[in-house]
A and B are shown apart, each in its own frame.
Chain A
């Protein structure tokens, strides 16, 4: 097979777009880890449930799109606030295994609830984005991928600014650094925990809209959540820039694997490559490219 430069550029560019959309989901995970030290295995399920509510409201009850989105947003905020109250707060100080298991349990519940209440069939989310592909020189892109990437760039920058500059963001970083010290400085730690989970719910809604438009809404959306881990491990668990970089690496490598290795081994490398990359990252640099190294002798 001789090297086709256009094919390569197209793969790379589409990989970049997908990677940005991965970053949009992964940032929800990072927000929670950064401020509460909790590992959330249910981020993919948040995305799924948010998208299901929006799609369900739009198709079952014929709500206009913005009303459906508003309902979805309200649900995610209230749900995640309550979640932090009822499940996560009693778990503070418990071993990390317990928190991981609690979020896995949560993920199972959401996977059951979504289809049970809103129906298991695949539904569309129709954002006002046309289905015609964008053709730009040799490049051929799906329009929703492009829109998704732009949305995710905007919101990732917004989160970056939020954490670096805004009063609440600084407070959240302080909380992440040390619960006790921030409490002593007069920060209401519990309120910021709730805020972090609510932000994660908001991001999940964004991710659900973009991905739901791209691949349709059903329980398959939750599987995306598993892609979060390669992204955050590569980039660093507590870094917003890391999410972008990790997302890009995973997206591009996935596209390359799908383009070049798939024909050789008969498919499926797309789901496999991210985890191989992740294992390498874990062995070489467990705290990721931009993560804060926690020196822990084992």
Chain B
């Protein structure tokens, strides 16, 4: 029978918490899985696959930040520092001890989680602006320590080359080969986050975000869950750093400076705080933005500026558009791309009976 819905009628808590809120979601997820795991690698060149790889890496990092900022409400401006911790841990383990990726990856994550726990300690005493500044300090201090400890940073350039990951003797050297490796980690991260936030821990995070005193009163240990949030978020960041290291084939602190932290903040805010889907939107958006700007500027830019200055103009334009988008979203649509998507979806779902 053909009919249209006129609203949302969830009749049980199970329906409310379901991973697939609508029947069509199941189809869409299967569709995307086929698209990205079967069709895309067959059709796309290595360049486009490497762009998708970047998006996958960004999604993992942004999910970590969203758990901290969007779900627990703790601002961190030092997210990139945790990535560098993960990256250098994995790089050192891979080069000095010849460990395979399935050990370096969690090791990088765990090391970052450990450092995250330490950085999270101020969050027990301070919040808001003070926490923001404390994590900013952590960013600089971690960066400085890595840079000034040759045992970690591997010498003058502070960069370590890592061997490509290897699965059953099959070496993943090219972007096309790395593609599956990074995509699978990304999918695991997405699933883990979706399940985390609807578990007991996730509900505790949300309670702390909404009202920490009330959360304490109903028996949530704010102390423990805030530190858990920092640890989990840093774990994601560490894994993201390891992924990035394998992606580039080199661990370098220049990839993890404060501007990267701000990029990730931008992803989470533009995508939508407290939403996994929003994080994915944000990561895609922010990662593709410079690519799109570069393509546009390389095609049309020579009309306005000299070719020699083009690279610089692109990086400046990128900053302006980034900053402008952050402000625009904050002022006009605080819930980000996710909210826009939901609005569109709701509109068409109940069309034409939208009352």
Which residues of A are at the interface with B, using a C-beta cutoff of 8 A? Answer: 39, 86-87, 90-91, 94-98, 100-102, 104-113, 115-116, 120, 226, 229-230, 233, 237, 265-266, 268, 271-272, 275-276, 278-279, 282-283, 286, 296-298
Which residues of B lie under 8 Å from residue A105 when comparing CB positions?
266, 322-327, 330
Which residues of B lie under 8 Å from residue A113 when comparing CB positions?
316, 320
Which residues of B lie under 8 Å from residue A278 when comparing CB positions?
133-134, 137
Which residues of B lie under 8 Å from residue A95 when comparing CB positions?
73
Tell yes or no: B185 within 8 A of A by CB: no
Contact A286–B323 (Cβ < 8 Å): no
Known A-B contacts A233-B133, A282-B134; the reply to A298 vs B125 at CB < 8 A is yes
Stretch of B103-111, B140-148, B170-178 at the chain-chain interface: B140-148
Contact B324–A275 (Cβ < 8 Å): no
- In the assembled complex, 26 residue pairs joining A and B whose CB atoms fall closer than 8 Å, in A order, are A39-B132, A91-B331, A94-B330, A97-B132, A98-B334, A100-B75, A101-B269, A102-B326, A102-B331, A104-B326, A106-B323, A107-B323, A108-B323, A109-B327, A112-B316, A112-B321, A115-B312, A116-B313, A116-B317, A226-B136, A226-B140, A268-B148, A272-B144, A276-B141, A283-B125, A298-B127
Tell yes or no: B319 within 8 A of A by CB: yes
Known A-B contacts A109-B320, A116-B320, A120-B312; the reply to A102 vs B327 at CB < 8 A is yes
Contact A268–B144 (Cβ < 8 Å): yes
Most B CB within 10 A of own CB, among A86, A97, A107: A97
Contact A91–B129 (Cβ < 8 Å): no
Known A-B contacts A100-B75, A298-B222; the reply to A87 vs B327 at CB < 8 A is yes
Most A CB within 10 A of own CB, among B130, B141, B312: B130
Tell yes or no: B69 within 8 A of A by CB: yes
Contact B136–A94 (Cβ < 8 Å): no
Which residues of B lie under 8 Å from residue A91 when comparing CB positions?
330-331
Known A-B contacts A97-B73, A105-B330, A282-B133; the reply to A266 vs B148 at CB < 8 A is yes
Which residues of B lie under 8 Å from residue A233 when comparing CB positions?
130, 133
Which residues of B lie under 8 Å from residue A279 when comparing CB positions?
122, 134, 137-138, 141
Of chain A, the residue at the smallest CB distance from B317 is A112
Which residues of B lie under 8 Å from residue A296 when comparing CB positions?
127
Q: What would 18 more interface pairs be, CB under 8 Å, given A102-B330, A105-B325, A272-B144?
A: A39-B132, A95-B73, A96-B129, A97-B69, A97-B132, A104-B326, A105-B322, A105-B324, A106-B323, A109-B327, A111-B319, A112-B316, A112-B322, A116-B313, A120-B312, A233-B130, A268-B148, A275-B141
Which residues of A lie under 8 Å from residue B262 when comparing CB positions?
104, 108
Which residues of A lie under 8 Å from residue B248 when comparing CB positions?
none
What is the CA–CA distance of A47 and B265 in the complex, to the nearest angstrom?
A: 24
Which residues of A lie under 8 Å from residue B125 when comparing CB positions?
282-283, 286, 298
Tell yes or no: B161 within 8 A of A by CB: no
What is the CA–CA distance of A104 and B324 in the complex, to the nearest angstrom?
A: 10
Tell yes or no: B192 within 8 A of A by CB: no
Which residues of A lie under 8 Å from residue B33 when comparing CB positions?
none
What is the CA–CA distance of A86 and B323 in the complex, to the nearest angstrom?
A: 14
Tell yes or no: B203 within 8 A of A by CB: no
Contact A87–B331 (Cβ < 8 Å): yes
Contact B318–A112 (Cβ < 8 Å): yes
Contact B323–A109 (Cβ < 8 Å): yes
Which residues of B lie under 8 Å from residue A94 when comparing CB positions?
330, 334
What is the CA–CA distance of A233 and B134 in the complex, to the nearest angstrom?
A: 10
What is the CA–CA distance of A43 and B125 in the complex, to the nearest angstrom?
A: 26
Contact A90–B129 (Cβ < 8 Å): no
CB of A277, distance to nearest CB on chain B (Å): 9
Which residues of B lie under 8 Å from residue A112 when comparing CB positions?
316-323
Tell yes or no: B213 within 8 A of A by CB: yes
Known A-B contacts A108-B319, A271-B140, A272-B141; the reply to A265 vs B148 at CB < 8 A is yes
Tell yes or no: B21 within 8 A of A by CB: no
Residue from A98, A266, A272 in contact with B330 in the complex, judged by beta carbons closer than 8 Å: A98
Of chain A, the residue at the smallest CB distance from B69 is A97
Which residues of B lie under 8 Å from residue A107 when comparing CB positions?
323
CB of B112, distance to nearest CB on chain A (Å): 19
Of chain B, the residue at the smallest CB distance from A228 is B133
What is the CA–CA distance of A283 and B121 in the complex, to the nearest angstrom?
A: 9
Which residues of A lie under 8 Å from residue B269 when comparing CB positions?
101
Tell yes or no: B126 within 8 A of A by CB: yes
Proximity string of chain B (198-214) to chain A, C-beta cutoff 8 Å, 1 when within and 0 when not: 00000000000000110
Which residues of A lie under 8 Å from residue B73 when comparing CB positions?
95, 97
Residue from B124, B133, B144, B331 in contact with A90 in the complex, judged by beta carbons closer than 8 Å: B331
Tell yes or no: B155 within 8 A of A by CB: no
Which residues of A lie under 8 Å from residue B144 when comparing CB positions?
268, 271-272
Of chain B, the residue at the smallest CB distance from A120 is B312
Which residues of A lie under 8 Å from residue B130 when comparing CB positions?
233, 282, 286
Which residues of B lie under 8 Å from residue A271 when comparing CB positions?
140, 144
Which residues of B lie under 8 Å from residue A98 when comparing CB positions?
330, 334
Residue from B129, B134, B138, B323 in contact with A237 in the complex, judged by beta carbons closer than 8 Å: B129
Contact B330–A101 (Cβ < 8 Å): yes
Q: What 7 A-B pairs have minimum CB-CB distances, sorted nearest first?
A: A105-B326, A112-B319, A108-B323, A109-B323, A112-B320, A275-B137, A96-B128
Which residues of B lie under 8 Å from residue A283 when comparing CB positions?
122, 125
What is the CA–CA distance of A108 and B330 in the complex, to the nearest angstrom?
A: 15
Which residues of B lie under 8 Å from residue A90 when comparing CB positions?
331
Of chain B, the residue at the smallest CB distance from A94 is B334
Which residues of A lie under 8 Å from residue B331 when comparing CB positions?
86-87, 90-91, 102
Contact B126–A108 (Cβ < 8 Å): no
CB of B257, distance to nearest CB on chain A (Å): 11
Within 8 A of A (CB), among B62-76: 69, 73, 75
What is the CA–CA distance of A108 and B130 in the complex, to the nearest angstrom?
A: 21
What is the CA–CA distance of A287 and B151 in the complex, to the nearest angstrom?
A: 37
Within 8 A of A (CB), among B302-338: 312-313, 316-327, 330-331, 334
